[in-house]
Amino acid sequence: ELRRTFFLLASLGVLHAVRRHFAATGTPLPVVLVLEEAGALGLVSPFVLLALQELRKAGLAVHVLTQSTRDFGDPGVFEAVLANTPVQVWHQ
């Protein structure tokens, strides 16, 4: 739980930096945020879902990596991730 909290605090800083840069300059700030084991560690917070919806034009690319779709627990969270990602890649 402590690792998740630290990650969320750090990612919020990144999200706010991208948002502030885009608001100030009108140009995208190319940033890649990688969420490895996103489902199992509960890294897809409401802030991340909002970023997936709003910050693509601001230069943010979020890579959501997970071992299984079942790791997300709540099917609504997984469906929200799928609905807001322009590219999905599946490996078996």
CB-based contacts of 48, cutoff 8 Å, min separation 6: 11, 15, 35, 62
Nearest to 18 by CA among 54, 65, 63, 64: 54
Angle at 32 (CA atoms; ends 53, 48), nearest 5 degrees:
35
pLDDT digits (tens, 9 = 90+) for 33-87: 998 888 888 888 888 888 888 999 999 999 888 888 888 888 888 898 888 888 8
Distances (CA, A) of 15 to 6, 25, 59, 91: 14, 16, 10, 28
pLDDT of residue 67: 86
Global pTM reads 0.78
> Would you say 55 and 36 are in contact if contact means Cβ atoms under 8 Å apart?
no
